[in-house]
Structure 1
Amino acid sequence: MAKYHNDLNTVVMRKWTSEEMNFFFSIVAKAKEKGCKEIIFKKKELKELARYSNEHNKRFEKTMAGLVDKLSDLKYRERTSNSYEVMILFSYFKVEWTPDYSDMTVTIEVSRQFEYVLNKLEANFTLWELKEFTNLKSTYAKAMYRLLKQWRTKGNREFTLEEFNFLLDVPRSYKSGSVDQKVLKPILEELPQYFKGFKLKKIKANTRGNKLLGYKFTWQAEQTGTWVDDKFNPEKTTGSRKETLPDWAKDTSATLTKMEESIYKEWHAEQMAQFDITIPEFLSIKNYGGKERLALQRALKKLN
């Protein structure tokens, strides 16, 4: 699985080839928790991560050259009311291969300024299966897949026309028919296999001419479990099975391990999105009530 901060979804990559995007997100999948250390990928890893076969060996050099060129131009911009920052993603990227392509090596180092995009998984992270992404053929489908997965538990996402054209890098020369055929058609053909009940609605102005204002995508929201009101209220509990707290949850001075913290953040984000439950997201459980600790316990059980 690949996890990354949603800020990465705002990076426009539509002009990348399908192979370049596969390699890039395969690298992200491994680099996300390695910090700024040097990371080395061998041929076997690259083939497994990016679903790259020996038949593509001759294209490897061209694909990597294109990827390096695009990475050198890849920047993340962050603007506040009184500041503006530009960050690069990698501080070092090297590709090597033997003349017969029997061996390949990719060496990368994540820049410190951009590290949080890959590694600091806040509540608004994205979680998706790399296999699904690499199976998609259209670059428009890949781009929309990334954008919609962060709303997987909500079941809908609306884009203004300006936002849609920017995020998918739709050429300005495209008329309505071209957008339908070249952009929307591959999205509607490829994404339903990963989004149940996937549908598209064009949003138009209720005026003469029915000007197109944007697009709304809907699908069956991914379920994270059923929330029952007052389930953790002792006064309203019937003879149902009790959930016992693990030792670490009973210790109110304990702090979460990295894994526990990551799992709870995932659970917290999904519950907030799906059920609109107000549960504070602390890095320590010392302030958690019984409801929050039991919720974290259930999230941990899902891992087993």
Structure 2
Amino acid sequence: MSDEIVKYSNQFNNQALRKFTALDLDLLMAIASRVRDKGTDEVAFTFEELKRLAGLQRNMTNDEFAKQIANVNRRLLALNFEFQNEEHDIIQFALFAGFVTSPTKRTLTVSVNSRFSFLLNDLTSQFTRFELAEFTALRSSYAKECYRRLKQYRQTGVWKVSLEDFRRLLDVPKSYRPSEINKYVLKPIEEELGPLLNLKVHRKYLKKKPGRGRASLVGFEFEFDPEKVPGGAPAPRVELSGSVVTDEARKSLRAGCRLAAVSHRPDGQGREDDVRGDGMHRRCETDGDDRHQQIKIERGELAAERARAELDAYKAAHDGLTPFEVARRSHDSQAMPDDRMEPGIEPTLF
């Protein structure tokens, strides 16, 4: 099983696998690993082989396992797979043309739909690739679905996704608020993929105008260790968004201030209210504590250095123009002759 590789077109990642359990996903990826590069030929599995490929640990009778397999295809048929071709036609299809489960023979026989065999065959570029054993070892269905998308960006190490697409692709309930997404979706992802891929999850916020309330969560940027291709050229580096870098620097500064706050409390416990919103430790504001000031200086220098690097990269990609200058040119080019941006008001860019 350690040599089994799952490989498919990146277009498959655009499909949300709704209502799939962790076991459903394991079975589907096990099947995908074996039908790869088999064209439209029928591929047969014994139940024992399929259980081994899917890493199934619990005992199931033949009838129970047959029902589980049938449920996988039932859910696939309910999905109504969809993609757009080069002419922008919207095409809907069933992935498998044949899917026969036999409890008496203890076998599964499948064949890929001939019109869409390109999703699993003759892949030379724009594909997702990962080890089946690594995938089936994950417990959470959210971790599995996130893992597949991260592997699409395995050479760059950054996956940027909007909140709307994240909800759709991972089948996150629409009723989940950001706090519930953190608890029930991102927590298992970070717990399982953090150690495996050195994953860091960055939240991206849309900052509202002053006095208009808190910033809104609009997306995520997943940062992880990129894979190195033996003998191949490294992929172009993908940078985190400027707003994410700034937020991370601010969090780092607040963390340093909180450490300084610990030394000022008799119980040795720093509290949230020891640090103001701007990162200044309240006690240090008046006593000039050297340890706090040194932390603040170091964190501030780090934030400034990263901000300068982000600005330099942006200007290099936009003919030496700053974000404000680009926004003004865009606004002026679309505005009427007598319509101009009000002086002193800068757009918010992310």
Q: What TM-score, normalized to structure 2?
A: 0.61
* 1: CA distance, partners of 2:167 / 2:89: 26
Quote the Cα distance in structure 1 between the aligned partners of 2:89 and 2:77: 23
- 1:83 corresponds to which residue? 89
The CA distance in 1 between the partners of 2:88 and 2:158, in whole Å, is 33
Q: Secondary structure, in 3 states, of the residue corresponding to 1:26?
A: helix
Q: d(CA) in 2 for partners of 1:106 and 1:174?
A: 37
Q: Distance in 2 between matches of 1:274 and 1:51?
A: 35
Is this contact kept in 2: 1:5–1:120, CA < 8 A?
no
Partners in 2 of 1:188 and 1:73 — Cα distance? 30
- Name 2:21's counterpart in structure 1: 17
Alignment of structure 1 residues 195-274 onto 2, 5 Å: 195-196=197-198, 198-207=199-208, 208-225=213-230, 267=232, 271=233, 273-274=235-236
| Residues 3, 127 of structure 1: 8 Å contact kept | yes
**By how many angstroms is 1:95 displaced?**
0.6
Residue of structure 1 in register with 2:49 after alignment: 45
For 2:76 and 2:218, the matched residues in 1 are separated by 33
Q: Does 1:121 align with 2:123?
A: yes
How far residue 133 of structure 1 moved from its aligned partner, in angstroms, is 0.7
How many residues end up aligned between the 2 structures?
228
C-alpha spacing 1:129/1:82, structure 2 compared with 1 (3 Å): closer
Q: 1:190 to 1:2 in 2, by over 3 A?
A: same
**Gap change, CA 1:97 and 1:82, over 3 Å in 2:** closer
Task: Indicate which of 184, 209, 212 corresponds to 1:182.
Answer: 184
Query: Following TM superposition, by how much is the alpha carbon of 1:186 offset from its aligned partner in structure 2, in angstroms?
Result: 0.7
SS of the aligned residue for 1:119 comes to coil
Question: What is the CA–CA distance in structure 2 between the aligned matches of 1:70 and 1:8, rounded to whole Å?
Answer: 15
Given the superposition, is the C-alpha separation of residues 165 and 54 from structure 1 closer, same or farther in structure 2, using an over 3 Å criterion?
A: closer
Counterparts of 2:171 and 2:88, CA distance in 1: 28
C-alpha distance in structure 1 between counterparts of 2:82 and 2:40, whole Å: 20
Tell me the TM-score normalized by structure 1. 0.70
What CA distance in whole angstroms lies between the structure 2 residues aligned with 1:215 and 1:135?
24
| Greater fraction of residues in helix | 2
Deviation digits for residues 241-261 of structure 1 (CA, Å, limit 9, x no counterpart): xxxxxxxxxxxxxxxxxxxxx
Q: Deviation of residue 168 (structure 1)?
A: 1.0
C-alpha separation between the residues in 2 aligned to 1:55 and 1:82? 46
TM superposition shift of 1:86:
1.4
User: Paired residue for 2:303?
Assistant: none
Partner of 2:331: none
- The farther-off stretch of 159-168 and 63-72 is 63-72
Tell me the SS of whatever aligns to 1:127. Answer: strand
Which secondary structure does the structure 2 equivalent of 1:187 belong to? helix
Structure 1 gap segments, 5+ residues each:
227-266, 277-304
Q: Where does the alignment leave 5 or more consecutive residues of structure 2 unmatched? A: 239-350
State the SS of the aligned residue for 1:122: coil
* Cα distance change of structure 1 residues 154 and 68 upon mapping to structure 2, 3 Å threshold: same
Determine what percentage of the aligned residue pairs are the same residue.
Answer: 33
Higher relative contact order by CA 8 Å / sep ≥ 6: 1 or 2?
1
- Separation of aligned partners in 2, 1:170 and 1:18: 14
Report the aligned-residue RMSD.
Answer: 2.1
Q: Distance in 1 between matches of 2:154 and 2:82?
A: 25
Q: Which of 144, 160, 169 is equivalent to 2:171? A: 169
> Is residue 98 of structure 2 the alignment partner of residue 92 of structure 1?
yes
Detail structure 1 runs of 4+ shifted over 6 Å in the superposition: none
The letter of the residue matching 1:273 is A
Distance 1:82 1:20, change over 3 A: closer
Q: Is the 8 A contact 1:74 1:89 kept in 2?
A: no
